[in-house]
Amino acid sequence: MSVGASIEALALSLGAFRLKEIDFAVSSGEIAVILGPNGAGKSVTLEAIAGFHRPESGRVLIGGRDVTAFPPERRRVGFVFQNFGLFPHLNVAQNVAIAQRRDGPVAGAKYAPPSGDPAALLDYFGIAHLAQRSPSDLSPGEKQRVALARALAAAPDLFLFDEPFSALDAETHEQLREELKAYLRALAIPTIFVSHDRSDALTLADKVIVLRGGAVIQSGPAAEVFQKPANSFIARVVGVENVLSGRVMETSKDFLTVTVGDQVVRAVSPASATPSDGSVLLGIRAEDVEIDPVHTAPPRKAGTNRLPGRIAQLRRAGPLVGVTVDCGLRLTAYLLGSQVRKMNLENGSPVVVEIKPEAIHVMSD
């Protein structure tokens, strides 16, 4: 019996919106993050998995059971919403105690806390002292722990999170995300997490699913989706800072030679064929763009792209400085403030940009 959850060709209509054959799986202990812009169908997908929308076709398997025909209360999912959705008329202990312990074996997942015992759950999450408090008196961090304790009390086979952090300030968001990650790792319950914030995916995801217009446009291990987005739309969703359009001039076994603006760069050949008209998009992460002042430029490394240009913009981004270089094409990189000072960079400074061919990701659209 397989553990985890899989969504197989799930399709449904909701007014004018259509969810088209959603397919993905999340295994035990894995965190899948569904990314996508507003209106992509992220929440609808999650609610369909939880049983709030009737699919037209396809199946939902949770903990090895086909639950497609089950109502939400029989699906064994722990659902956590924005602001954590605690019941405001119940205190913390009552919030946890209201969950109905499901009968039958829990497929696979090893729960560290005894899932059926509210008091033990409060202990596990370190919130026993809050038992008599009203949810309105809790901090966001305490709310998150109550929400997790409550979800666990019902012995879920799958966790579903629908943008739980979207109403929090950036600092709390980051803090609670780290805490959540630690709990999810310890509990080893498969998790699907919906977000429009790619930093959630960067922190939490083992697997990333990108939705657009009700369809999965890419899914795979987080590193793969972040490093090799299938197209320029996904590149923007996962935050690739530099997306440039170019034309293939020459194809060899390992490398493509591409003109971009009035520059020529070498990129590693993609696994898939490039369009016949030779037009491609290049994705380059800012972290892969190196900037050297002209006079200290090290000797050329074999095959590395070296593009001379001038600083077009310097912009503070926390401890970093976003540097935009105009070298016939515009490239963004990040430097430490101290590096910028050491190199004496200012608008118009001549620099050399270095990009390794393997850091240039070639996309066809």
Total residues at the site for another protein (CB under 8 A)?
A: 35
The verdict on 98 binding another protein (CB under 8 A) reads: yes
| Residue keyed to tokens 């049983």 | 51
| Residue keyed to tokens 């699907």 | 192
Whole-angstrom Cα distance, residue 131 to residue 183?
Answer: 20
The verdict on 111 binding another protein (CB under 8 A) reads: no
Indicate which single residue of 65, 102, 181, 236 sits in contact with another protein (rule: CB under 8 A). 102
Task: Count Cβ atoms below 10 Å from residue 174 Cβ, excluding itself.
Answer: 15
The verdict on 70 binding another protein (CB under 8 A) reads: no
What is the edge-to-edge ordering of all strands in the sheet holding 330-336? 290-293, 350-355, 305-317, 320-326, 330-336
* Smallest distance from another protein to CB 138, Å: 11
Indicate which single residue of 85, 220, 270, 350 sits in contact with another protein (rule: CB under 8 A). 85
* Smallest distance from another protein to CB 73, Å: 5
Indicate which single residue of 44, 127, 146, 151 sits in contact with another protein (rule: CB under 8 A). 151
The verdict on 55 binding another protein (CB under 8 A) reads: no
* Site map 12..51 versus another protein, x via CB under 8 A: -----------------------------------x--xx
Instruction: Select from 156, 150, 164, 144 the least CA-distant residue to 121.
Output: 150
Contacts of 250 (CB under 8 A, 6+ apart): 256, 257
Indicate which single residue of 38, 100, 252, 296 sits in contact with another protein (rule: CB under 8 A). 100
Indicate which single residue of 44, 99, 237, 353 sits in contact with another protein (rule: CB under 8 A). 99
The verdict on 73 binding another protein (CB under 8 A) reads: yes
On the 0-12 / 13-18 / 19+ scale of CB atoms within 10 A, 217 is middle
Provide the sign of the torsion angle of the four alpha carbons 202, 325, 344, 318, taken in this order.
negative
Query: What is the contact surface with another protein in residues (CB under 8 A)?
Result: 47, 50-52, 71-75, 77-83, 85-89, 98-102, 134-136, 150-151, 153-154, 156, 160
